[in-house]
Amino acid sequence: MDKNIVKEKFSKITLWKRSGERAPHKPLLILYALGRLLWDKERLIPYEDIDNEVVKLLRDFGPDRASYRPEYPFWRLQKDQIWEVVNAENIELTKSGDPKKSDLIGSHVKGGFSEVIFQELQKDYQLFQDIIQELLYANFSETVHENILQSVGIDIDQPFVNDKKTETI
33-63 pLDDT, tens per residue?
999 998 888 899 999 999 999 999 999 998 8
Read off the pLDDT of each residue in 127-133 and give the average, rounded to a whole number: 94
Q: Where are the beta strands (DSSP E) in 10-67?
A: 17-18, 21-22, 44-46
Q: Are 145 and 105 in contact (CB under 8 A)?
A: no
Domain containing residue 92? 3-168
CB 120 within 8 A of CB 6: yes
Average pLDDT rounded to a whole number, residues 102-111: 97
pLDDT value at position 23? 74
| pLDDT at residue 162 greater than cutoff 50 | no
* The model's pTM: 0.89
CA 31 to chain centroid = 5
How many whole angstroms separate alpha carbon 155 and alpha carbon 157? 5
Widest CA span in the chain: 48
Our count of domains for the chain comes to 1
Averaged pLDDT for residues 15-29: 78
> Mean pLDDT score of the chain, rounded to an integer?
88
Which residue(s) pair with 22 in the sheet?
Answer: 17
- Check if the beta carbon of residue 82 is closer than 8 Å to that of residue 27: no
